[in-house]
Amino acid sequence: MKKIKKFLLGRATIVALAILLQLAWILSFLQGFNVKGPFLNSLIDIIAIFVVLVIVNKKSNPSYKIAWIVVILAIPIVGLLVYFIFGRSELTRPTRKRMEAVNSELESELPANSDILEKLCQEDKTVYRQTKYIRDWAKFPVYQSTATKYYKAGEEMFPDILKALEEARHFIFMEFFIVEEGYMFGKILEILKRKAAQGVDVRFIYDDFGCVTTLPEKYYQQMRQWGIQCVRFNPLYPVMSVIMNNRDHRKILVSDGKVGFTGGINLADEYINKVERFGYWKDTGIRLEGEGVWSFTIMFLEMWDYINRTCETDLNRFRPQRYQSEPFANDGYVQPYADSPLDSETTGENIYMNMIAKARDYVYIFTPYLIPDNEMIKTLQNAAKSGVDVRIVMPGIPDKKVIYWMSQSYYEPLIECGVRIYQYKPGFLHAKCFVSDDKLATVGSINMDYRSLYLHFECGVFMYESSAVWEVKEDMLRTMAESEEINMEFCQKRPAAIRTFLGVVRLFAPLL
């Protein structure tokens, strides 16, 4: 009974009901005009056709455009209204301009590292082209002098997070999608309070939508009372908003500019298996120590300045070299990167597709959701057809059943081309990793679905010849040994009606 009461009175339920009531009122209002005469009905049809033409000419994914075109033409009034609220994947013009100004200011502080790029060109031109793409189009350079450490589970990474926070003497930056009160965040919060009291510059960003059911509405105010500078990204209000479709899905922790963490791990107890949800929670993370952490520092400050409408003037106090007397260790090539919905460049997806297309022997993939666009499907299929060993590991126990079933609807066209798909039997796999040819890997926050690839702010680390590359591969092979390989019989045993239904639903996958 308490759970039901909590759900009914929860902020997520109140916001959802408020938006639905607004939507219903607007629809009834428009419908009232619609029934008054053929002129208004024709006007709505003309507007629908005009919007469809605008969508056709947008620089966005064809699948995304087709889904909205079908909805708008089939039910113009509802389709137009929902599209204007949820359908525009790009940020509004003032928002975009403000973020572009912040990014332009801070990205100029990133080193070009052209000498490292040239050295890489001499070693491997294929990898050089990938790193050059990330530098030129995502604006993040490649580094050496950066050590890597891969974590195959949240409970393995958690002690190192606490250690990095304890060792911070100057500043701590944290940015997470989900934060939930409990054991994990309680331990972290205890350190943050103490560090803030000691004069350490502690800053915290959380996504308000990601925390709508896990934190009180104005939790950031409570954190400020503890001396922690805290803001929420894109506050969730019970009002229909164009920009609430874009979320900050990144996971970033920076300690003194020397140590940085990212991956799929949020700050909630299931991520360290302190509580059980959907069986064993399998997630991964990566730790960097060295010059490459500077890119994560800039990513955080970009988001911080955007939310606060401020501009950092003394960036030198955040540079890792200021707090490091000894040279950093060298561990291959490391390139942290960010992906943003404010531009037309799908950095995360392009990095993934380049790794698949350029693989010579194998490419192994961890992803909790598999809702790829046509380009990604063709890239996976062509790699497998050409003899590359393509393997994808998915959850065995879902967290969202509809998304799980939709993900499974993509199994058959991939398996028939030679892609091997596994489902992790112990529980839910939330990791987002790629590894190929014993030399390349990426670990980050980016799922293989439309939201991550097109609508969310994301981040990751691309690595070449780093020790973490081998660690990712070993974890992939161990995880596959604990998983069930899916065959065509699994795909075809479903009734034809269900398979047909899922095929139709896939048309609207970009809208989920």
Structure token pair of residue 460: 């990751």
pLDDT at 390: 98
Across the beta sheet with 458-464, the strand order is: 333-339, 458-464, 440-444, 433-436, 362-366, 389-395, 420-424, 483-486
pLDDT at 139: 93
Q: What band does 196 get if pLDDT is binned at 50, 70 and 90? A: very high
Distances (CA, A) of 473 to 241, 253, 436, 448, 500: 42, 24, 8, 19, 36
The angle that helices 125-133 and 347-358 make with each other, rounded to 10 degrees, is 170
pLDDT at 57: 79
pLDDT at 56: 79
- Give mean pLDDT, residues 33-58: 73
Rounded Cα distance between 486 and 288, Å, is 35
Distances (CA, A) of 327 to 82, 291, 316: 54, 10, 18
pLDDT at 418: 96
Check whether 468 has a pLDDT greater than 90.
Answer: yes
Q: What's the predicted TM-score (pTM) here?
A: 0.89
Residues 6 or more apart in contact with residue 38 via CB below 8 angstroms: none
Residue 96: in which H helix or E strand, if any?
helix 93-107
Contact between residue 47 and residue 80 where contact means Cβ atoms under 8 Å apart: yes
Q: How does pLDDT run across 49-86, given as a tens digit for each residue?
A: 888 888 877 777 777 777 778 888 877 777 777 777 66
Amino acid at 481: A
Q: How does pLDDT run across 241-300, given as a tens digit for each residue?
A: 555 678 999 999 999 999 999 999 999 999 999 999 999 999 999 999 999 999 999 999
Q: What band does 344 get if pLDDT is binned at 50, 70 and 90? A: confident
Rama region for 114: left / alpha / beta (φ>0; ψ in -120 to 50; rest): alpha
Q: What band does 15 get if pLDDT is binned at 50, 70 and 90? A: low
Contact between residue 211 and residue 178 where contact means Cβ atoms under 8 Å apart: yes
Check whether 166 has a pLDDT greater than 90.
Answer: yes
Structure token pair of residue 24: 């219903």
Check whether 424 has a pLDDT greater than 60.
Answer: yes
Contact between residue 117 and residue 142 where contact means Cβ atoms under 8 Å apart: yes
- Give mean pLDDT, residues 4-30: 60
Q: How does pLDDT run across 112-148, given as a tens digit for each residue?
A: 999 999 999 999 999 999 999 999 999 999 999 999 9
Structure token pair of residue 467: 């020790």
Rounded Cα distance between 294 and 260, Å, is 9
pLDDT at 464: 97
Q: What band does 108 get if pLDDT is binned at 50, 70 and 90? A: confident
Structure token pair of residue 340: 């943003």
Q: What band does 28 get if pLDDT is binned at 50, 70 and 90? A: low
Q: Which domains does the chain have, with CATH numbers?
A: 2-87 (no CATH), 93-119+147-329 (3.30.870.10), 347-511 (3.30.870.10)
Amino acid at 227: G
Rounded Cα distance between 168 and 101, Å, is 30
| DSSP calls for 124-152 | -HHHHHHHHHIIIII----BSSEEEEEES
Q: Pick 412 or 30 by higher pLDDT.
A: 412
- Scanning 286-437, the segments in alpha helix (DSSP H) are 293-308, 347-358, 374-385, 401-408, 411-415
Rounded Cα distance between 47 and 33, Å, is 15
What percent of the chain clears pLDDT 70, i.e. is strictly above it? Answer: 87
Phi, psi of 483 (to 5 degrees): -115, 165
pLDDT at 198: 97
Quote the DSSP letter at residue 417. Answer: T
pLDDT at 31: 59
Instruction: Find which of 210-219, 306-315, 463-472 is predicted with most confidence, using mean pLDDT.
Output: 463-472
Rounded Cα distance between 144 and 136, Å, is 18
Strand partners, 174: 204, 253
- Give mean pLDDT, residues 188-212: 96
DSSP, collapsed to helix, strand or coil, labels residue 216 as coil
Share the mean pLDDT of the chain: 88
The region of weakest confidence among 19-23, 65-69, 267-271, 448-452 is 19-23
Q: Pick from 443, 119, 96: which is nearest to 252 by CA? A: 443
Rounded Cα distance between 198 and 219, Å, is 22
- Give mean pLDDT, residues 496-505: 74
